[in-house]
Homo-oligomer: A and B are copies of this chain.
Amino acid sequence: MTTALELSVKLHYLRQKLATLNLDAMLLTFLPDARWLTKFSGSNGTVLLTRDNAWLFTDFRYQEQVKTEVENAEPVITSDGYVAEMKSGKFSFGTRVGFQADKLAFATVEKMKEELPDIEFVPVTMFCEEFVAVKDSDELEKMRKAVAITDKVFEKILEMISPNVTERDVAAEISYWNKRFGAEKDSFDPIVASGPRGAFPHARATDNFIQNNSLLVIDMGCMVSGYCSDQTRTVAVGKISDEARAVYNLVLEAHLLGIRSAKAGMTGRELDAIAREFLTANGYGEAFGHSLGHAVGLQVHELPTIGRKGEMKIPVGAVITIEPGVYLPGKFGVRIEDMVLITERGAEPLPKAKKELIEL
């Protein structure tokens, strides 16, 4: 399967990039990138990648864990940090070393330069992103598990939604069942937004009771072996207005259009524009105040961005969200979101949750 970017392949591509950038080595200080390459799941780890070697620097807490977990790099336990190890003379990494300029703090870079004055530190951005975007079979398996749990949790919480519970009660239940069904944790704080609060795309769950005769937006996800799910459904509680029903059906159309239109090789901007133009033609362009989607992986928001600023092409093997929304201040909001896998044939939705309006 062409979506498989296997572990050794990761190293191969990164080393090609080292050569392209004329670097002797690259420091991966951003933890999700270090984890992506080595599978190390600890809270402290930096990879030093050279043309011939790769080391993962971490601390004594992970002494046992690295033995079974780490691939693609040789683990080094240190109490002094990676800069001290680089000074020690024990590791050979040349003189031109790239660092993740958009992730590493200014003061840390200054300190590295001071401690290692003979090294030329080169600011690099987007070193891993194009490779991280392509999920291999192992990563896909974890993401499918996360999505399956999210489907199950959604089924479960439908049972308890009523005007007698608060948004926060529902959020509590989501977090609870995520763990009970085997996830490590939420991939982000669940959004449970009832009635007019649904018009705030990033509403936090409040102590307000779920409104009767209104729409309820539920945006939720979980994490399995570090990999995230992210899924939104909007459901009707009681009787809703004709306008709410019409907007729901329109957003559903935009969502299905987004899925049908998604093709490898398009930019995120192009895909976003298709759904946006549809909503605009139907009079709701202004009410769609965010991007159509984003890639998902070890981070819940990854590149490519599926939005107006999304110039990166969507590769085969990417997992992206398709999540159009319409937000009418003072009234309600509707968002419908699936994670889809981009294949050579198009986009395959990963969740099974029903998309026709659920009326509770």
> What is A's interface to B at a CB cutoff of 8 Å?
43, 60-61, 99, 101-110, 123, 125, 168-169, 171-173, 175-180, 182, 184-185, 189, 200-202, 204-205, 207, 289
Can you tell how many copies of this chain the complex includes?
Answer: 2
Q: A101-B110, A105-B106, A171-B179 are in contact. List 20 more A-B contacts (CB 8 A).
A: A43-B202, A61-B200, A61-B201, A101-B105, A102-B105, A102-B108, A104-B106, A106-B106, A106-B108, A106-B109, A106-B123, A110-B123, A169-B179, A169-B180, A172-B175, A172-B180, A175-B176, A175-B179, A179-B205, A184-B204
**Closest beta carbon of chain B to A159's beta carbon, Å:** 16
A125: which B residues are within 8 A, CB to CB? 107
Give A104 to B102 CA distance when docked, in angstroms: 9
Give A61 to B329 CA distance when docked, in angstroms: 12
Report which of B104, B180, B207 forms a contact with A182, defined as CB distance below 8 A: B207
A103: which B residues are within 8 A, CB to CB? 105
Report which of B105, B109, B173, B179 forms a contact with A168, defined as CB distance below 8 A: B179
Contact A104 B101 (CB under 8 A): no
Q: List the 7 closest A-B pairs by CB distance, nearest first.
A: A172-B179, A101-B107, A176-B176, A102-B107, A175-B175, A106-B109, A101-B106
**Closest beta carbon of chain B to A241's beta carbon, Å:** 23
**Closest beta carbon of chain B to A259's beta carbon, Å:** 26
Report the nearest B residue to A170, measured CB to CB: B179
